[in-house]
Structures are given as C-alpha cells and as structure tokens.
Amino acid sequence: MIYNRERAVAYAKEWAYRRNPAYFDFSRIGGDCTNFASQCIFAGSGVMNYTPLYGWYYINVNNRTPSWTGVNELYRFLVNNRGAGPQGRVVPLSQIENGDVIQLRFDSDEDFDHTPVVVERGLGTPDTILVAAHSNDSDCRQLSSYRYRGIRPIHIYNVGEA
C-alpha cells in the first residue's frame, strides 16, 4: 500500500494545537510528541500492526504498544517492520518528504527525545523544513529552531497490509 502523505500532513495541521479525543493526551506523563506522530502516521497509512509488544497500535491508553508513544520504540518499529503497518528507513535529511518524521536528540546520551512530523520539506535543509509537534505544540515550525544534538530523519516508504 502507498503511504498517503497528504492525509498525514492534513491530520498534523488539524491537530497540532489541539488533542483528538479518540487518543489519550500523554503531555503530563512524559510527553505527547510520539503519540501525535503515530496518529499522523496512522492517518497516512490506515493500518496498525497488532503484534503484541512489538507491533504498533493504539486501542486505548491501557491497550497500546510502546512504539505508539515511545520515541526510540517508534524508530525500532518503523525500521524493522516487515509486516502490517508503516515501514521506514533512516535517510539523509535532504531525502525527507512531507508526512515523514524527524527524531531529535537533545542530550548527549544515545536515546532520542522528540518526534516532530514534517509538514513542509522545503529544500530539505533545517532552515526550510517545517514540522508540527505536540508537547511544545507547534505547526510550521522551522526544524532549525530546535536546539538538538542529534537528528534521525525517518522516511516512510511503504505500508504493509494487514
């Protein structure tokens, strides 16, 4: 299946400053950025992976996988998934497209901390890529406005069928 980038971006723009009541708001318990990114990816893919523990799905706050809300867990799911749901790979920033995600690391440790969604790729540079995100809610925010120490652009290249 083809990833619908327009639907992912439209969802990001609609919900960047609000919360979809169909999903729990994790802002006060660790952050809502990857939950929001997963919602955007789901809007563009339309397929969840219901594999217990290692899949990617959200039924409710108590019935979801770690990859739905965890930055590093989402990365591991996307790059390793060969089944149902979105499939991704790390690419150079210049190859990022609308509807993809870019994970940011703010500290010097190995874990990444934030998952904004690309809403406008511009020229594929930090000054021209615009993102939407939750936790510090934003839409059309320049990627270069973040003070990050590491960057992990993830391109969604396929959607495996359920």
Q: What is the pLDDT of residue 141?
A: 98
**Rounded CA separation 53/18 (Å):** 28
Asked if 90 and 154 count as a contact pair (C-beta separation under 8 A), the reply is yes
The pLDDT tens digits for 120-160 are: 999 999 999 999 999 999 999 999 999 999 999 999 999 99
Rounded to whole angstroms, the Cα distance separating 98 from 120 reads 6
CATH code where residue 22 lies: 3.90.1720
Counting the structural domains of the chain, the total is 1
pLDDT score at 109:
86
CA–CA separation, 113 and 69 (whole Å):
11
Query: Mean of the pLDDT values across residues 73-90?
Result: 98
**What is the domain range of residue 149?**
5-160
Taking the mean position of all CA atoms in its chain, how far away is CA 138? 14
Separation of CA 50 from chain center: 18
pLDDT confidence of 98, banded at 50, 70, 90?
Answer: very high
Mean pLDDT score, 17-42? 97
